[in-house]
Structure 1
Amino acid sequence: MAKLLTLKKQVKKLIIERAVCQVASTNPNQWPFNVPAVAQLLEEGLTFTVPITFLVGENGSGKSTVIEALAEAYGLDARGGRAGRKYVNDRPKTPLGEVMQLDYTPKCSKYSASFRRRKGYFLRAETAFGFMSFVSGMYRYWEENITEMSHGEGFLTVLNTMFDDPGLYFMDEPEAPLSFSSCLRLVALMNRIATTGGQVICATHSPLLTALPGAEIFEFGSHGIRMVSWKELDLVDHWRRYLNDPSFYLRHILEED
């Protein structure tokens, strides 16, 4: 993984370098614009400097809302799927997706003009299995029948099949069905995407994934959005404390019952 450490200087490998919003039509008192992280994004935008970016935060912090809007801005279906293909549905974009815009790097400006030329995929844990079952066997998807696999095996089939070309890949909590060893395989896949000209933006709760060398991490919370190192993440601190002494947390929870 040492190769990834040099990617920060290779901005030319990025597909998008910034996300901004047209805020004139939004109501700052309504969800999701009243979420601190979303409010900051509306005001300041979000800049990407390396090929792998993690969005981390508690439930309700806005990370999934933001990654869904980023995927929609790239032309992907909010429920997940492959770039360059429109799925049959009449569902409008999410409120944040309606105002989200992406700034492409000069190398990849062609993507902004041609929907069909975009390469990438949006994998979201909460809707993935139903969608994956529907498209199994279709042209340019996977041949395997994932209904005959475990949830985790199905995810790995999609990852190995759809995340093979340089493109822009969005993931929302991909670790949900994966074991420890499978998460390590996902880390290797992310690294391969980054070193072959692709870009990954991933919302996650996983201290394992976020430890990937060279990645940038944005922590979402009541403070808004801030860039942090892996060691500074609240989730890393909590997992370290819990694994060191589970009773430190459990005694308070069990005493409440």
Structure 2
Amino acid sequence: MNLLDSKHYLLSATLKEEKIDGYDAYPLCLPAIRGLTDKLMFHDAVTFIVGENGTGKSTLLEAIAVSQGFNPEGGTKNFNFSTRSSHSNLSDYLRIAKAIKRPKTGYFLRAESFYNVATEIERLDNEPSFGPPVIDSYGGVSLHEQSHGESFFALMQNRFGANGLYILDEPEAALSPNRQMAMITLLHQLVNQGCQFIIATHSPILLSYPNSTIYEIREHGLVQVDYEDTDTYSVTKHYLNNHRSMLDILLEEEK
């Protein structure tokens, strides 16, 4: 690969195996992490990571974000707060290959701690010596004064800009199906403006974005798959096409 011609900011991730004594302890024991003995190649536009709860999606995304200087709880690289220090040390074991081109902006969005980011923005804006209101970059309306979904979307519409690196952990958590479809449009606009995304998701809607690479976490690690071969797609499709019979099975014990 010619790094000068690359549209990537991040090229790949792999483990520093020379620093690892074993894979029995957390987080190295997680399926998503064991799979990094091979390189995880990032798409220059959108890379999706999907898998069951507990397989290591969020842990992996967090480590990638921390390795690039983002706050573990989310936000830009300028955020430096800690509500509860609970992130793993996985970033110490990651080797990230980067292109020569550098992103002009970026954001680490994680659904579970977005409330903490919104609170930190309000704290900074209450410091008279801090400077221009931070919330102006998020649409000018307190994120706490909007619904969860509205605040998420306000963030993406106002704070995400061209030539950025965006690492998103389950962004669909607060978004309705209609908003998820709107996010695909926004995602595409930003990709066309030179942005790179790495996204962990359970959403079959977001996962349908065509200009992407999908990795599914399976028993022995990460496997690159097509959209229709993911469990996310197949389980959702089967349920929606057979919801009456599925409900009969799921609720059988209650009869």
Which range, TM-score by smaller chain? 0.7 to 0.9
**Residue equivalent to 2:70:** 76
1:65-144 equivalent positions in 2, closer than 5 A: 65-83=59-77, 85-89=78-82, 91=85, 94-108=88-102, 119-136=105-122, 137=125, 138-139=133-134, 141-142=137-138, 143-144=140-141
Tell me the distance in 1 between the aligned counterparts of 2:41 and 2:246: 36
Matching of residue 171 in structure 1 with residue 168 in structure 2? yes
Contact 2:105 2:161 in 1 (8 A): no
Equivalent residues in 2 for 1:178-189, closer than 5 Å: 178-189=175-186
Say whether the 8 Å CA contact 1:53–1:201 is kept in structure 2: yes
Separation of aligned partners in 2, 1:20 and 1:241:
35
Structure 1, unmatched stretches of 5+, are 1-9, 112-117
* Superposition deviation, residue 102 in structure 1: 1.6
2:209 paired residue among 207, 212, 224 = 212
* Contact in 1 for aligned 2:170/2:201 (Cα 8 Å): yes
Secondary structure of 1:243's partner? helix
One-letter amino acid of the counterpart of residue 43, structure 2: T
Question: RMSD in angstroms over aligned alpha carbons?
Answer: 2.1
Corresponding position: 1:49 with 2:43: yes
Aligned CA distance change for structure 1 residues 236 and 72 (closer, same or farther; 3 Å)? same
Deviation at 1:151, TM superposition (A): 0.7
Unaligned runs of 5+ in 2: 126-132
Check whether the contact 2:10–2:99 (CA below 8 A) recurs between aligned residues: yes
Whichever residue aligns with residue 129 of structure 1, its letter is Y
Asked whether the 8 Å contact 1:133–1:145 carries over to 2, the reply is: no
Contact 2:43/2:212, CA 8 A, preserved across alignment: no
Identity of aligned residues (%): 32
Residue 244 (structure 1) aligns with? 241
Letter in 1 for 2:27: P
Which aligned segments of 4 or more residues in structure 1 are displaced greater than 6 angstroms?
A: none
**CA separation in 1, counterparts of 2:118 and 2:10?**
26
- 2-structure distance, mates of 1:93, 1:173: 17
2:190 to 169, 188, 193: 193
Instruction: Give the 3 Å change call, closer, same or farther, for CA 88–244 of structure 1 in structure 2.
Output: closer
